[in-house]
Amino acid sequence: MMADRWTRMVRQQVGLGRFLPLGGPYDGAWIAERAASGVLRGAAERDVPEVRLDGVRIGLADPGEAAEPAVPAPPSALPPGPLRLTAEFAATAAWPLPETASRLRTALAVTATERIGLDLTEVDLRVTELLDTEPPASRPGTPETRGGTDTSGGAGMPGAAESEAARAPGSAGVAGAVGGGPEGERVAAVVLRVPGVSRLTGVWGLPVRLSEQAPAPGDALPRRHARVDLAVAAGFRPLEVARAVRAAVAEALPDRPTVAVLVTDLD
């Protein structure tokens, strides 16, 4: 059972893709590539309906320009820096292909920067196919359009049961589901009151993690670090929500720990 649980957890994290930096080095926030890609696909379907977007990938435009984040980053997270989006697309002949590519590039860039908060500086597109008819729109609520983590559950897998527990701080069993004991429960309650936070998630089954990091240069004592995994509600910009969560968590704990926010889902 334990082996199955770890296998499912690893698959869950792999399914989220890399963790992309939101904002700059001092924002302390990341978003799962799968969640961001889901929003980008939705923008392409809405603004350029004659296009089928394939193979979306987001990475650093120039690793040499990446900065050191001000807070500890989640495992497998990219450092803050300008990002490049690469994708392939198929399109009908309703518009000249150069014009279609330009419209698609604009839709993706605007969505990434204004809707999500990514520092996207480059969009590379490649046409792979000509379509006879417009591609069908994805069904609302599917992972392709929502970019969400699979929380359907399953034996031993962190999913619906733990998510429901994390939504209701103060109920029985919440501290164990959240992580961090009573202080973790307090953090969860504070986070869920921040406008735009729809629920707590948790890549490894713990939406809130409290740990101790080595002293920074000039500090005599170690400093605590908090990480919160969450989903952002529709209509809210993930970067702004993450900033508000970081401020709320730092205020909620007396030692004012450093705080990192990982957005795993966009609801």
Tokens matching residue 151: 């929380």
| Residue 158: predicted pLDDT | 34
CB–CB of 167/200 below 8 Å? yes
Contacting residues for 88 by C-beta, under 8 A, at least 6 apart? 53, 54, 55, 125, 126, 127, 128
Separation CA 151–CA 160 (nearest Å)? 5
Separation CA 165–CA 200 (nearest Å)? 9
Contacting residues for 191 by C-beta, under 8 A, at least 6 apart? 197, 200, 208, 228, 230, 245, 248, 249
| Band (166; pLDDT cuts 50, 70, 90) | very low
| Residue 218: predicted pLDDT | 55
| Residue 62: predicted pLDDT | 95
More confident residue, 38 or 212: 38
The second-level CATH assignment, the architecture, of 149-266 is: 2-Layer Sandwich (3.30)
Asked if CATH classification 3.40.605.10 holds for the domain at 31-132, the reply, yes or no, is no
More confident residue, 240 or 151: 240
- Please determine, for residue 175, whether its predicted confidence score (pLDDT) is greater than 90: no
Fold matches, 31-132 and 149-266: yes
More confident residue, 169 or 70: 70
More confident residue, 266 or 150: 266
More confident residue, 69 or 135: 69
More confident residue, 99 or 170: 99
More confident residue, 149 or 84: 84
| H-assigned helices in the chain | 2-16, 33-47, 97-110, 143-146, 160-167, 174-178, 181-192, 238-252
| Residue 66: predicted pLDDT | 93
Residue ranges of the domains in the chain?
A: 31-132, 149-266
Which range among 25-39, 59-73, 94-108, 153-167 shows the weakest confidence by mean pLDDT?
153-167
Packing angle, helices 2-16 and 33-47, rounded to 10: 40
Sort strands 197-200 and 120-131 into parallel, antiparallel or unpaired: unpaired
